[in-house]
Structure 1
Amino acid sequence: MEQSTLYLAVATLSFLLILSKLVGSITRQQKWPPGPKKLPIIGNLHQLGGDVLHWTLAELAEKHGKLMTVWFGFQQPFIVVTDPDLAWEMLVTKGVDYLSRKMPYLSRITSADYRTLGTSDGGPYWETLRKGLQSTALNPRTISSQTTLQEQDIADMIGSMRREADLNNGVVKPFHHLRKLAIRLIGRLCFGTAFPNEDRFVDRMDELIEEDMRLSTIPRLVDVFEFTRHIPGLKPPLKEIREHTEKIKELIRPCLAAAHKYTSSGNSHMSFLISQGLSEDVILLNLFEVFVFGVDSTSASIVWALGFLILEREAQEKLFNEVEAKLGGSRRMVRVEDVSEMVYVHAVVKETLRMRPVAPTAVPHKAATDSELKGLKVKQGTALLVNLYALLNDEKAWKEPKRFVPERFVKRDGVLDDLKKMERYYVPFGAGRRACPGMELAKVELAVVVANLVNTFEWRSVVEGQPPDLSEVLNPLLGMKTPLEARIVPRCS
């Protein structure tokens, strides 16, 4: 047994070295931008560890250039873009050339072989999925129809936070409350009248999203060296991912059956997917993807906003005063129409998204055709990564970028800055045709929820004088390394 293991190890290492040289000879035929020196087999992986890849890439770019090559193993060179003009050229001006996706091998299991909106390459199929999502779940009329139910969900969440605080000496952990709020909103938009608005469904979806995030952060050899899936003893452990995928389908399948039975799911995303004649697996996994992309991103952003407002008490009071002035002293819920007429709450949201973009390196792109970037020839199939974090924290564009200053988004006359002059730097949702399709909904949702939470509670550190730890971890979205706990004090009984 030991001999066979040793033989396998030696054979594999020899194969890797031979393949590394072969791949190297092929890639040398292409002109790559400069980058950090790579090692045989692992490339630059030894330089890319840790919790903050976006920081690491920004630091490497300072040394090697705003257009550099980083090797995620010897098989996977990525061109990393850190310059705002180059990023705009890639994402917007020549966006069609870079519409394809570079996805991890194992994600094909949870995406029905790359048939979801987020994982599929650009083309007619992808266009149909994106337009379908925007015309159903993200249609302004669909969203507007959910306003009353959403207000009740926020009120219920606030009540849940009160109960937790009562049992825990005034302290709450807001993240899971916010996740369940987002699940209910997205559930209604995705499923329409087929949404089972039950705690059991919401709790199970919450568990599956958390499990999906956990599985996506486990390092796997096959995601770096895809050829290892053919080597005995190194084949990827697919069982856990397949079982997880089956659990997803098991949860959502009854909603699909209800839509088929009653044909009354309205202008929902599910009804659109059904109308396209897609397979059951493709429908179910497209629906789950909307939850994965929408739930943790909005929840994490709201938690980041609360963390900054605890740290910057003056900003919190300024926001509370704006809400109080708008409501005229009333203790009713803050509504969408209220925040549409407010300024500072949107400035808080914008500054939060600038400082902590939930996807700081975005989803990797892949050249769909031969193209160019600033004269550099980019061959079809080349993987590219845009470091959004670096653009959002560029000292050339932002004064004191590490400070939380919502006022930077407010003009001298008190009007919200539309940032037109900064559009190449302010890209928390990406840009171009692959930008987040739900960004407008997310911005409104963030503003309404943050306004209600600050209007209802004063948010403080758990221990006075000890500010919250706002350290980052990319896991796979940008969250807090130490989950936020806060002491909440009711503004009014």
Structure 2
Amino acid sequence: MEILMEQSSTSSSVWMITVAAAVVVLFGLSAKLLAWKLKKQQQQKLLPPGPKTVPLIGNMLELGKGGELLHVSLTKLAKKYGEMMTVWFGGFEPTIVATSHELVWEIMVSKANDFSDRSLPWLTKILTCNWQTLATCDLGPYWHMIRKGLQSTTLNHQTIMAQTKVQESDIDHLITSLHQEALSNNGIVRPYPKLRKLVVRLVSRFCFGPDFPNDDDFVERLDSTLDESIHQSGHIRLADLFEFTRYVPGLWGPFKESLNLKGRILQLLSPHLKAAAAATPNCYSSFLLSKGLSEEVVVFNLYELFELAVDATSNTTAWALAFIIHNKDVQEKVLKEVMYNKLGERRRIVRVEELSEMEYVQAVAKETIRMRPIAPVMPHKAARDGELKGVKVKGGTPVLMNFHAVLHDDKVWREPNRFMPERFLNNKSGGGVDAEAMERSFVSFGVGRRSCPGMELAKIQIGVTVANLVNRFEWRSAVEGELPDLTEDLTFVLMMKTPLVARILPRSY
């Protein structure tokens, strides 16, 4: 009997504790909702207009309507709420969204000191050493040191041009590989994986020196980690929207995945640091080590360069090939420009130094970058209290620039959804409504202090790769009458939802 009474008492205690815990949770949620409502009411008096919000999730339902990608939804909302609007990603923090080239320039150039800090998902700390990489740290002495070193030692013109012979050899290897794939597959190729490995080899030499061996095992393993980073990027965004997930053990999946990936990256890159730095004083790893940074900080600054360069360059090249297949006249114009050198001889390979003479190839690269900006939105944060277009912005407020909207503004770009390289030619035939506005609106690589330090290298790599691939092959649809799918997919970068599959025919010499 005493045992039964004791069990009953224990059960009663457990029940009371459970009820008490539930009351505490409900009280906490109610308090959180009340605080959110009061805070939101105060903030909305000062913020630009925007769509109505839902508690806890903000505007997420509105942004996800119809399965549209973020930059597309924001562009549509801007038509209703204006070039500067307020959007809530989750329920606890407003974001100011800028949609015009004037606002982007105000944020990134004229008021860069006020708006050049970063607003990033908290999980990104794991693969950036608590935001100690160039792209993730706030503006300041540390940022200036890394940026200056990258541009002066690694991505300066002399270093880039010193790589051209090996770069051309890599492209020749790519052409041979595609030809072999086509021979064994009835002319069908899937170029994207090979384009990625091409850029991995290029960036490896900037990180570890021109004599870095770049063996197939290293390239494969690094490419695999980059692919995993893209896979995780979607989880990172979702986890950031709902902060409570970081405190719930059952929802630690993205956290564990990032930690596992961090270990793989360190294991892959760390062994190459000291040998590379000793052999090549001008490589990126040598510069970073010379500044007394920890090995981990060095590794993830290197890895960031791989992430940004490989995904951006290979995806843009794949997009360019897809657009060329869609626009036969563009392919014919590229071929006409690259076929013969100044002596009238048939080119076997287009060399990097010849690219400056090829205006149309450069125009194709720029139009691809405009049509499919690799980063269609760019997150910044107010470093201090400031103003945008006369509206007061509190320090710490996230500011999101919609590059996609700027690059598709029909007030600046004639027929913005049409692939038209001619708009970038010197005579501006088929160009923008306003040439100056068009130039200021070409923000694909950012502008001002936070602009992409590798933009010139990317333009060279995209241009010379496209020129050579068109010079050596005719590019057609894999299935006659079915053009490549141009549907977008936004992960870490703007990718093709359906990776390019094409039929190639070797050109005669």
| TM band (smaller chain) | over 0.9
Deviation at 1:197, TM superposition (A): 1.4
CA positional deviation for 1:238: 2.1
- Aligned counterparts of 2:439 and 2:17: Cα–Cα separation in 1: 58
TM-superposition CA deviations, 1:329-376 (whole Å, max 9, x none): 4232101121111110011111111111010002x1011111100111
8 Å Cα contact 1:24/1:74 also seen in 2: no
Q: Go from structure 1 to structure 2 and tell me whether the alpha carbon gap of 1:425 and 1:3 turns closer, same or farther (over 3 Å shift).
A: farther
SS across alignment from 1:28: helix
For structure 1, which runs of at least 5 residues remain unmatched after alignment? Answer: none
Greater Cα shift, 411-420 or 59-68: 411-420
User: Counterpart of 1:70?
Assistant: 87
Deviation of the 1:414 alpha carbon? 8.4
Q: Are 2:356 and 1:347 aligned?
A: no
Counterpart residue number, 1:396 = 411
Aligned counterparts, 1:6-405, within 5 A: 15-30=28-43, 31-49=46-64, 50=67, 52-193=69-210, 195-218=212-235, 222-230=239-247, 237-259=254-276, 263-326=278-341, 328-362=344-378, 364-405=379-420
User: Structure 1 residues 3, 218: closer, same or farther in 2, change over 3 A?
Assistant: farther
What residue identity is the alignment partner of 1:351?
E
* Alpha-carbon displacement from aligned partner over 1:63-120 (angstroms, at most 9, x marks no partner): 1111001101112211000022111111111011111100101000010011011111
Say whether the 8 Å CA contact 2:281–2:287 is kept in structure 1: no
In 2, the alpha carbon distance for the partners of 1:101 and 1:256 equals 28
Q: Which residue of 1 aligns with 2:488?
A: 472
* 1:80 alignment partner, SS class: strand
The alpha-carbon deviation at position 161 of structure 1 amounts to 0.6
Amino acid at match of 1:312: N
In 1: Cα distance, 2:61 partner to 2:31 partner? 21
Letter in 2 for 1:248: I
Contact between 2:487 and 2:497, CA under 8 Å: does it hold in 1?
yes
What amino acid sits opposite 1:436 in the alignment?
C
Provide the residue aligned with 2:424 in structure 1: 409
Identity of aligned residues (%): 51
- Please point out which of 448, 460, 470 is paired with 1:454: 470
Measured against aligned partners, the alpha-carbon deviations of 1:223-255 in whole angstroms (never above 9, x if no partner) come to 113355345655565222101101001000111
C-alpha distance in 2 between matches for 1:244 and 1:298 = 23
Q: Is the 8 A contact 2:60 2:88 kept in 1?
A: yes
**Aligned equivalents of 1:145, 1:9: Cα separation in 2:** 66
| TM-score, structure 2 normalization | 0.91
Per-residue CA deviations over 1:164-213 (Å, capped at 9, x if unaligned) read 11111101111111100100110001111563310110111110000011
Report if the CA contact (8 A) 1:16-1:41 is conserved: no
- In 1, Cα distance between the equivalents of 2:96 and 2:289? 38
Distance 2:198 2:449 in 1: 28
**Amino acid in the other structure paired with 2:114:** D
Partners of 2:18 and 2:338 lie apart in 1 by: 67
Gaps of 5+ in 2: 1-13
Aligned to 2:235, the other structure's residue is in SS state coil
Rounded to whole Å, the distance in 2 between the matches of 1:166 and 1:88 is 49
Counterpart of 2:505? Answer: 489
TM, length-normalised to structure 1:
0.94
- 1:397 Cα shift? 0.7
Note if contact 1:194-1:258 (Cα within 8 Å) is conserved in structure 2. no
Secondary structure at the aligned position of 1:423 is classed as: helix
Alignment partner of 2:495: what SS?
Answer: strand
Question: Do the aligned partners of residues 22 and 404 (structure 1) sit closer, same or farther apart at CA in structure 2, a change above 3 Å counting?
Answer: same
Separation of aligned partners in 1, 2:403 and 2:180: 39
Moved more, 237-246 or 370-379: 237-246
**How big is the shift at 1:14?**
5.4
Question: Is the contact between residue 108 and residue 449 of structure 2 (CA under 8 Å) also seen in structure 1?
Answer: yes
Distance change in 2, residues 1:8/1:130 (3 Å): farther
Q: Distance in 1 between matches of 2:313 and 2:59?
A: 32
Q: Which of residues 434, 438, 441 in structure 1 aligns to 2:457?
A: 441
| Corresponding residue for residue 3 of structure 2 | none
Q: C-alpha displacement at 1:34, in angstroms?
A: 0.7
The separation in 2 between residues aligned to 1:2 and 1:195, in whole angstroms, is: 65
Structure (1/2) with the larger helix percentage:
2
- The secondary structure found in structure 2 opposite 1:70 is strand
**In structure 2, how many angstroms separate the alpha carbons of the residues matched to 1:434 and 1:172?**
37
Amino acid at match of 1:66: E
CA contact (8 A) 1:75 1:224 kept: no
Instruction: Tell me, yes or no, if the aligned pair for 1:75 and 1:225 is still in contact at 8 Å.
Output: no
The secondary structure found in structure 2 opposite 1:473 is: strand
Which moves more between the two structures, 215-224 or 449-458? Answer: 215-224
Q: Secondary structure at the match of 1:422?
A: helix
- SS of aligned partner of 1:284: helix
Q: Secondary structure at the match of 1:372?
A: strand
Query: Contact conserved, 1:99 with 1:367, CA < 8 A, in 2?
Result: yes
Distance 1:151 1:426 in 2: 28
One-letter identity of the residue aligned with 1:280: E
Contact kept, 8 Å, 1:222 with 1:236, in 2: the verdict is no
Q: CA deviation at 1:416?
A: 11
8 Å CA contact 2:363, 2:422 repeated in 1: yes
Offset, 1:46: 1.3
Higher-Rg structure is 2
* CA distance, structure 1, for counterparts of residue 15 and residue 425 of structure 2: 68
Whether the aligned pair in 2 keeps the contact of 1:51 and 1:473 (CA below 8 Å) is no
Q: CA deviation at 1:422?
A: 2.0
Alpha-carbon offset, residue 421 of structure 1? 4.3
Paired position in structure 1 for 2:11: none
Residue 121 to residue 4, structure 1, CA distance change in 2 (3 Å): farther
